[in-house]
Amino acid sequence: MVPSICIFMTGVCFWITYLSVDGAFLVFTSIQRRFNGRYTCTARNIGTAESATISVDLSVIYPPSRPVISGPDIVVLGESFTLFCYADSIPLPNYYWKVATHTVDVIEARGRVYKYTQSASTYSIWRVCYAEVTLFPTVGAQQHHSIFEKKNMIVQEKTGIWSLPEDVRSVVGKTVDVECKVAGAPAPQVWWTKAGNSSFAYQGGRLFIQNVQAYDAGMYTCNAQNTMTPSGQESRDTRDSRDFVLNVENPVFPGDCAECFNPDLTFKITTTTPSNTVTSATVACPSVANQGLIVATVIGWLLAATLFAIGLLFFLRYRQSSTITKTAEQESSKAHAKNDIHSLAHPSMDRQLPVPPYNRMEPEMVADSPYTELYADHYTEPISDQNSPDYLTSV
- pLDDT class of 196 with cuts at 50, 70, 90: very high
Residues 6+ apart with CB under 8 A from 76: 155, 156, 157, 158, 228, 230
Of 179, 175, 149, 141, residue with least CA distance to 162: 179
d(CA 97, CA 130): 6
182 occurs within a structural domain: yes
Of 250, 262, 252, 180, residue with least CA distance to 217: 250
Within this chain, do residues 300 and 368 fall inside the same structural domain, yes or no?
yes
Phi first, then psi: what are they for 123, rounded to 5°?
A: -70, -40
pLDDT tens for 247-290 read 999 876 544 444 444 444 444 444 444 433 334 444 444 444 45
Within this chain, do residues 132 and 41 fall inside the same structural domain, yes or no?
no
Show the domain range for 176. Answer: 170-228+238-286
127 occurs within a structural domain: yes
63 occurs within a structural domain: no
165 occurs within a structural domain: no
pLDDT tens for 102-149 read 666 789 999 999 999 998 888 999 999 999 999 999 888 999 999 999
Domains held by the chain: number? 4
pLDDT of 10: 35
Q: Is 315 helix (H, G, I), strand (E, B) or coil?
A: helix
Within this chain, do residues 98 and 183 fall inside the same structural domain, yes or no?
no
Within this chain, do residues 262 and 360 fall inside the same structural domain, yes or no?
no
Within this chain, do residues 76 and 123 fall inside the same structural domain, yes or no?
yes
395 occurs within a structural domain: no
Last residue of a domain, one of 138, 158, 178: 158
How large a percentage of the chain has pLDDT more than 90? 42
How would you class 156 by CB atoms within 10 Å of its CB: exposed for 0-12, middle for 13-18, buried for 19 or more? Answer: buried
Within this chain, do residues 125 and 39 fall inside the same structural domain, yes or no?
no
233 occurs within a structural domain: no
Within this chain, do residues 320 and 249 fall inside the same structural domain, yes or no?
no
pLDDT at 66 over 70: yes
Report the CATH number that the domain containing residue 151 is assigned in CATH: 2.60.40.10
Within this chain, do residues 177 and 257 fall inside the same structural domain, yes or no?
yes
How would you class 67 by CB atoms within 10 Å of its CB: exposed for 0-12, middle for 13-18, buried for 19 or more? Answer: buried
Backbone region of residue 196 per phi and psi (left: phi > 0; alpha: psi in -120 to 50; beta: other values): left
Within this chain, do residues 275 and 175 fall inside the same structural domain, yes or no?
yes
Q: How many residues does the chain have?
A: 395
Within this chain, do residues 25 and 99 fall inside the same structural domain, yes or no?
no
Within this chain, do residues 380 and 307 fall inside the same structural domain, yes or no?
yes
Eight-state DSSP code of residue 322: H
- pLDDT class of 369 with cuts at 50, 70, 90: very low
35 occurs within a structural domain: yes
Last residue of a domain, one of 102, 136, 158: 158
Last residue of a domain, one of 121, 137, 158: 158
pLDDT tens for 5-31 read 444 333 334 444 445 566 778 888 888
pLDDT of 374: 45
Within this chain, do residues 127 and 148 fall inside the same structural domain, yes or no?
yes
- Residue-averaged pLDDT of the chain: 76
Range of weakest confidence among 35-39, 154-158, 334-338: 334-338
CA torsion sign, 274 to 275 to 280 to 283? negative
pTM: 0.52
328 occurs within a structural domain: yes
